[in-house]
Structure 1
Amino acid sequence: MNVEEILARLIAFPTVVGMPNGEIVDWIRGYCDAAGTAVSVHPGPEGDRSNLFATIGPRDGRGYILSGHMDVVPAGESEWTSDPFTLRRNGDRLYGRGATDMKGFLACALAALPRLATMNLRRPIHLAFSYDEEAGGRGVPHLIAALPSLCERPLGAVIGEPSGMQAVCAHKGKAAVQLEVIGRSGHSSRPDLGLNAVHAMSGLITRVVAYGQSLANGPFHEDFAPPYSSLQVGVIAGGQAVNIIPDRCTADIEVRAVPGVSPSSLLEPVKAQLLALRDNGFEVGWRELSAYPGLSLAEESDLAVLLVELTGQEPLSAVSYGTEAGLYQQAGIDAIICGPGNIGRAHRPDEYIEIGELAACQSMIEDLGARLAA
């Protein structure tokens, strides 16, 4: 199968984040088995989602991980001009949910697998495919924890998020939480007898947004845009009807932190503001939604130098979006971002990748194999 055919198969699996992924895992496992590649499936604690790990070459040598996620964001936008889970070709563009983020990279790695298998590699190349990356990287920590039983300590991990095949050495860290305020319901004609959770949350959000704006005062890291940490309130929910005092309100908040700043530490002032509402008779809740560390890899590192040689492009210092790379680095494995496509096309209707971008990525992976076989 060529890379376009493989991509068509992968996109046909509607692996929306948070949903079971057994079908795509079974298909990839079967593909790897047919190529004579050692492959294992690792169910997560959810029970209906799994990570997948495959090794080409010797298991007892130190090699490289090609890392990608199998899940995609939902595709419910009305602006799609074709079925998002059926690959559509128009000229040099291939359309479908996940074409860029990031089933295109998975397809390139799988398309390269048969040739890699013939190279008599001296060092291994591992495929590490995860689940629920779009929910804040929930799946890959379980796979990283299992690595000592699966392979020798890797020399590095290439995370194939869309970067225009330009290596990326750094990204911000992120943490997201859900705040909950619980008051007391009643008839809206007697607000004095209730505790309005929406009113309490709105005041809290006003203070939290002001705090978030203060993050623009630094610390700064000029490689990023914006060059400072940030905070956003992304979702608010509360109330049943206009004539009922709302007894519950929730708000989802995220922070993105520049290197050197802990994302969780940025949320401590938010938590203090939330807990203060208890003094006014409200109950409160704090639920962590997701968190991952930032990535910071030296441009003179062996891994960065290798990717420059493989891609023919100088590395990009930093991006503001997040990936699983920081989790690999946190585990003591050098990691870098490099994959086909453009992040600006991700999470949008009519997401696409170009055939030339897939070809460049597959070539890079096969060139890596050639180096490890030399």
Structure 2
Amino acid sequence: MQVVEILRKLIDFPSIVGTPNGAIVSWIDAYLRSFAVEAHILPGHEGDRANLFATIGPSDRPGYILSGHMDVVPANEAGWSADPFVLRTEGERLYGRGTSDMKGFLAAVLAAVPTLTASPLARPVHLAFSYDEEAGCRGVPHLLARLPELCAPPLGAIIGEPSGMQAILAHKGKAAARIIIKGRSGHSSRPDLGLNAVHAMADVLNAAISTAEDLMQGPFDGAFEPSYSSLQAGTISGGQAVNIIPEVCTLEVEARAISGIDPVSPLALVRNAAEAQKARGFAVEWEILSAYPALSLAPTAPLAGLLRELTGKAPLAAVSYGTEAGLYQRAGVDAIICGPGDIARAHKPDEFILTSELAACQAMVEALAARCRA
């Protein structure tokens, strides 16, 4: 199958983050088996979705991982010109949810499988396709935990997030948390008989704002924009009506951390402010929704040099968005970002990728295969 036809099939699967993904996993598995490539289907703890890992070449020798996620964000935004789960072609543009982020990469990798299997590889190329990346990289940790039994320690991992086929050496880490404060409802005319959860959450929100302002003072890493770690309150909700004391209030916060900083650490003051509400009679729930570390690959690393040669482009120092690459690095695998498409097109109506970008990515994978035969 040609790369556009493979992408068409992948877009057909509405593999929305947080939902079962058996259909897309089964199709990829069948496609690989048609080239005598055996895939390992690795279920997560949810029970209704799985990662997929396949090896082309000798699994007992160090090789390279091509990593991508199968899930996409929902396509409920207004502004889509057509069904987001049906690939639409207009000239060089291919429209559909996930075309850039990141089923275009998956399609290019799968289109290169005939080349990868055409003759024996001296070093293996592994395909690692994950689930629920869009929910804070929830799927890939299960895959990484199984990696030692699946293959020899890899030489590196290429994470195919949309980067315009320019390798990226670093990104920020991220942690998100949900705080729920529960008080006691009642009529607003008798505030002395209730516990106002919205008022209690104000202390927590102020702690988040104060932390965000403190982070702006450094430390700094000039490779990123902005050059400092950040924190924001993303959602807040509570109360039923203006004359009812609100019993419950929920706040969600997110921290993004430069390299060298645990992304959970900026949330400490926010959590302390929440826990302090217990002394006032409130019940408090704290939940980390997602967390992944920053990526920081040295420009002199062999993997950086390899991507420079494969793409013909000098690697970019850093981006502020996050990927699964930091988790690979924490697991002991050098990682770098490089994939087709543009992150600016992701998570928007009429998301698209260019046929030339798919071709460039397929060419990179096939050039990697040539290296692995040497």
Q: TM-score, normalised by structure 2?
A: 0.99
Structure-2 residue corresponding to 1:55: 55
Paired residue for 1:354? 354
Residue 159 of structure 1 is matched in structure 2 by: 159
Deviation at 1:316, TM superposition (A): 0.4
CA contact (8 A) 1:52 1:130 kept: yes
Q: Equivalents in 1 of 2:37, 2:298: separation in Å? A: 33
**Paired position in structure 2 for 1:91:** 91
Q: Does 1:34 align with 2:34?
A: yes
Matching residue's letter, 1:281? G
Displacement of 1:243 in angstroms is 2.4
Counterpart in 2 of 1:135?
Answer: 135
Aligned to 1:82: 82
Alpha-carbon distance, 1:211 to partner: 1.9
**For residue 67 of structure 1, what is the aligned residue in structure 2?**
67
Contact 1:162 1:340 in 2 (8 A): yes
Give CA-to-partner distance per residue, 1:331-366, whole Å, 9 cap, x none: 000000000011001111111000000000000000
2:217 is aligned to 217
**What CA distance in whole angstroms lies between the structure 1 residues aligned with 2:59 and 2:219?**
44
Contact (CA 8 Å) 1:119, 1:369: kept in 2 or not? no
Map 1:94-243; keep pairs closer than 5 Å.
Answer: 94-243=94-243
**Partner residue of 1:276?**
276
- CA offset at residue 322 of structure 1? 0.3
**Residue identity matched to 2:172:** K
Work out the CA distance in 2 between the residues paired with 1:338 and 1:9. Answer: 23
CA distance in 1 between counterparts of 2:15 and 2:202 reads 35
Query: What is the CA distance between 1:235 and its match in structure 2?
Result: 1.2
Listed as ranges, the gaps of 5+ residues in structure 2 are: none
- Contact between 1:119 and 1:370, CA under 8 Å: does it hold in 2? no
State the match for 2:302 in structure 1. 302
> Given that residues 208 and 232 in structure 2 are in contact (C-alpha distance below 8 angstroms), is that contact kept between their aligned partners in structure 1?
no
Q: CA deviation at 1:278?
A: 1.8
Write out per-residue CA displacement over residues 31-79 of structure 1, whole angstroms, 9 at most, x where no aligned residue: 0000111211011110000000111111221100000000000100011
Counterparts of 2:275 and 2:268, CA distance in 1: 11
Q: What is the rounded CA distance, in whole Å, between the counterparts of 2:33 and 2:235 in structure 1?
A: 43
- Hey, what's the Cα distance between the residues in 2 that align with 1:104 and 1:351? 11
Aligned AA for 1:103? K
Paired residue type of 2:76: G
**Letter paired with 1:157:** A
Following superposition, the deviation at residue 199 of structure 1 comes to 1.8
Give 2:326's aligned residue: 326
* 1:274 Cα deviation after fit: 1.0
- Equivalent position of 1:363 in the other structure: 363
Higher deviation after alignment, 249-258 or 270-279: 270-279
Tell me if structure 1 keeps the 8 A contact 2:203–2:273. no
Assess if the C-alpha contact under 8 Å between 2:158 and 2:337 holds in 1: yes
Deviation at 1:182, TM superposition (A): 0.9
Aligned counterparts of 2:67 and 2:160: Cα–Cα separation in 1 = 6
Partner SS for 1:336 = strand
Residues of 2 paired with 1:232 and 1:8: CA distance? Answer: 37
Cα distance in 1, alignment partners of residues 226 and 314 from structure 2: 22
Query: Counterpart of 1:80 in 2: which secondary structure?
Result: coil
Shift of 1:298: 0.3
| Equivalent position SS for 1:123 | coil
| Residue type at the aligned position of 2:133 | E
Shift of 1:239: 1.6
Query: Normalized against structure 1, the TM-score is what?
Result: 0.99
Task: Tell me if structure 1 keeps the 8 A contact 2:160–2:339.
Answer: yes
Which contiguous aligned blocks of 4+ residues in structure 1 show a shift greater than 3 angstroms?
Answer: none
In 2, Cα distance between equivalents of 1:298 and 1:305 = 10
- Partners in 1 of 2:18 and 2:241 — Cα distance? 30
Check conservation: 1:3, 1:108, Cα contact below 8 A: yes
Identical-pair percentage: 63
How many residue pairs are counted as aligned between the two chains? 374
Cα contact 1:68–1:105 (8 A) shared by 2: yes
What's the counterpart of residue 259 of structure 2? Answer: 259
Aligned residue in 2 for 1:9: 9
Match of 1:373 in 2: 373
Counterpart in 1 of 2:18? 18
Q: Separation in 2 of the partners of 1:44 and 1:362?
A: 29
Inter-partner Cα distance in structure 2 for 1:152 and 1:207: 46
**Aligned-partner Cα distance in 2 for 1:286–1:120:** 52
> C-alpha distance in 2, partners of 1:299/1:119?
32
User: How many Å separate the matches in 1 of 2:372 and 2:170?
Assistant: 26
Bigger mean CA deviation after superposition, 297-306 or 257-266:
257-266
**How far off is 1:96 after superposition?**
0.5
The C-alpha deviation readout for 1:140-183, integer Å capped at 9, x for no partner, is 00000101111111000000000010100100011110011111
Conserved 8 A contact 2:205-2:270 = no
In 2, distance between residues paired with 1:104 and 1:353?
A: 7
Gapped runs of 5+ residues in structure 1? none
**How far 1:193 sits from its partner (Å)?**
1.2
Alignment partners' CA distance in 2, 1:74 and 1:236: 21
Aligned partners of 1:325 and 1:331: how far apart in 2?
10
